[in-house]
Amino acid sequence: MESEVSTVQHVKTRTYVWTYLMLLVLATASWLLAHYHVPGGVLLAVGIGALKALLVLAYFMHLSEESFSAKLAIATAAVLVMIFIGLTVLDPLTRARDATAVSVPALPSNALAH
């Protein structure tokens, strides 16, 4: 019986090193954003975090070597997570905007006498 040769191209060590260095650069950028309180830094930090997650998924978890269906499943899960986060962020917009619109029952006058 002849042994089958795998045609999968594995990630080279050089790619791991470059990915690790890129993760270090991105982690430093995240730290600098938090340290210097850059305006609009939250969106930038989320973008940096997403890029770091993609690097880890693609190279350290070998997603770059997987079939299209596996990549599609991960992409679908990521889109659903983004939708859920977006709905959570937008939820406060459905609430009353000022304090006068919210009716708070007053305390009885004898409640403070104790």
Task: Please return the burial class of 52, using the count of CB atoms within 10 Å of its CB with bins 0-12, 13-18 and 19+.
Answer: middle
User: Do 76 and 57 belong together in one domain?
Assistant: no
Distances (CA, A) of 95 to 4, 28, 51, 98: 62, 37, 33, 9
Average pLDDT of the segment spanning 21-30? 96
User: Do 72 and 52 belong together in one domain?
Assistant: no
User: Do 57 and 73 belong together in one domain?
Assistant: no
Indicate the helix (H) or strand (E) that contains 76.
Answer: helix 68-90
User: Do 48 and 73 belong together in one domain?
Assistant: no
pLDDT, one tens digit per residue, over 38-75 is 888 888 998 999 999 989 988 888 888 888 898 898 88
Distance, in Å, from the CA atom of 26 to the CA atom of 14, rounded to the nearest integer, reads: 18
Inside any domain, residue 85: yes
Inside any domain, residue 46: yes
What total of structural domains would you count in the chain? 2
Inside any domain, residue 110: no
Query: Do the beta carbons of residue 64 and residue 58 sit within 8 Å?
Result: yes
Tell me the residue range of the domain where 75 lies: 67-93
- The mean-pLDDT minimum among 9-23, 24-38, 95-109 falls in 95-109
Inside any domain, residue 56: yes
Inside any domain, residue 73: yes
Inside any domain, residue 30: yes
Last residue of a domain, one of 61, 78, 102: 61
- The mean-pLDDT minimum among 13-22, 61-70, 81-90 falls in 61-70
Distance, in Å, from the CA atom of 71 to the CA atom of 103, rounded to the nearest integer, reads: 50
